[in-house]
Structure 1
Amino acid sequence: MVGLILISAVYSVSIGQVQIPFRQAMNILLHALSGGHLGSIEQIDNGSYLNIIMQVRMPRVIFALLIGLGLSLCGTVMQAVVQNPLADPYILGISSGASLGATFAILIGFGSGTIFSQFGVASAAFVGAMITSLGVLFLSSIGGKATSVKLVLSGVVVGAMCGSFSSLIIYFANDAEGIKTVTFWSMGSLGSSSWQKVPIMAIVVLLGCLIFLFQHRILNAMLLGDESAITLGINLSVYRKLYMVATALVTGTMVAYAGMIGFVGLIIPHITRGMFGADHKKLMPATLLLGALFLIWADILSRTLVHNVELPIGIITSVIGSPLFIYMIVKKGYNFGG
């Protein structure tokens, strides 16, 4: 799977409005990544190929890889935490909170003369996602410890409330261009990727992956339920809150930079669970790799399906993910957590 990801990454940087031969794209990447020790750029047909790959397409591929890792990671964790096969990274109302923040920034803004105007839509979306997530955690903890059922219900309620506020802002806004921007942002896109944004995304996502790769015992215990976990001496309530905060941070960062990309965190864990079983020791690394591979190809399709038009990547993932999920539902022999 790692080999497929590498081949797909090279293919991704070689296609677009300017077609670059696969071998030349591979030589450029080897030359750049090895500091000139590997690969040759002397026989490159066009001098602009180097800039196209390294400045435009490579940051986008890295973004696709990181977001694929992050969404599949958060989807797997959320499905274990709330013990629900329909859980996805946005179950805490993160998508609705981020949409509210982005809608506010685009249609109302902070004022051109204030310091907040420098942060832009991405920061507003991140702040909205984090406030919403913390609100869900607080609401689910009222009247006792946070259980999986209370978390799901709290996420639905807070998400619906944020969605209604976003709709209210759009209804009263007299800004056709802003409404179009909000709509496009909500569909998800990797068009804003750049080398300046890669470090923050990489640190947050890779740190989250590193943490959860070693949490397979706790995640397996969560699938068994609270009563079974108590007999094992594990306080799931504490771990639930910690995992929720960690996944909210990862998801909020991804949503802030790329908008909402659906179905990746929902369907990828199910596919890998059907292939490798429910043990998170095997499930987690397989899910991460498959999620990265899936999103790289979803980005390729978004750029190539319609000539000279870039489709929002959220549309591609939904079109592919919906039939796959229907197939998983009707397929016999698949049991969540079994």
Structure 2
Amino acid sequence: MSSMSLLDFKDLGDDISLYEPRIQLENGHRDCCHSQGPPQTRLDSPSLIILCTWLGGATSKRIERYTQQYHNTWPNSSIILVRTSLLNYVARSERSLHRRLRPAHREIRRIAIDACSNPTCAKPAIVDGGILLHMFSQGGANIATHLVTSLNSILATMGRDIPLPLRQIVLDSCPGDPDINSSYTAAAHSLPGAHPLRPLGCAVLYVMVASLLGLEATGFRKPLARVMRAQLNDPDIFSPRAARLYLTSRADKIVDARHVEAHAQQAAAMGLKTEILAFDKAGHCSLILEDESAYWDAIVSSWERNGPPKMTEGRGRHSHKGSSPADSDQWRSRL
């Protein structure tokens, strides 16, 4: 098992970084796979994993638990890490945010799209780019939606009239439908816990959150959370071929598991391949602390079941430990 940390990522600027595996060349030297196009992976490995982190508490140590395990599972997969900031979530304009995402646009195209447009590439780029998108909480879902929307626009100018060819979408602790209290609690995670000015910062933050929600209620600002919930189930934005895995916890105090389950049910009703795994005790964006094995088993098995050449579909009830009681025959559930 090879070791990897965030120090192995290349900083692309604007809170975006890239890890690319190194391949063993015939002469014994090691070189980064980017010079050879997409890495030569073992069967059914993602060509690219995109992680969009959550607001507050997403320290390097916590993020490394995910990047390291993804690397251990698929050592030949590239990883793009997009960190989420409070400023990006609530203040930046759409145009400004899309401009800041340009480094990610460039690398996604190079690794998973442009290289696979080569006729010798085994994966049909139009159908399946071998991309796994993992978003955490409202902040990660927001930045992921902007990333995919803006990249779709770029691809459209290249004559591609279909969304980014994702194979799997992991929605971790999202999407919610937050009120003022849960919105404030989520945003407060971005403030330093031991800073002497934290109480003042919390007060200012509460006023800011209340003002933003007030603007949304009066129609002066788009209701961000509800717009995002709709976009996540829009087949013109997120590929309808992609399998969706929802991971949530009934003990989450920031994103209500019922909101996650409702969104998953809407996706299933639209005919999208949908699975959900609900934990009982884990806190927000801490699901692996309750049952790390079940967490990663769900991700890997979902990926493997939905690989090319033909995506299998099935109907049934959840049988996996911890699955949601909201399951019905509409769910395309195979955990």
TM-score for the superposition, normalised by structure 1: 0.29
TM-score (norm 2): 0.29
Task: Report 1 or 2 for greater relative contact order, CA contacts < 8 Å, sequence distance ≥ 6.
Answer: 1
Q: Which one has a bigger Cα radius of gyration?
A: 1
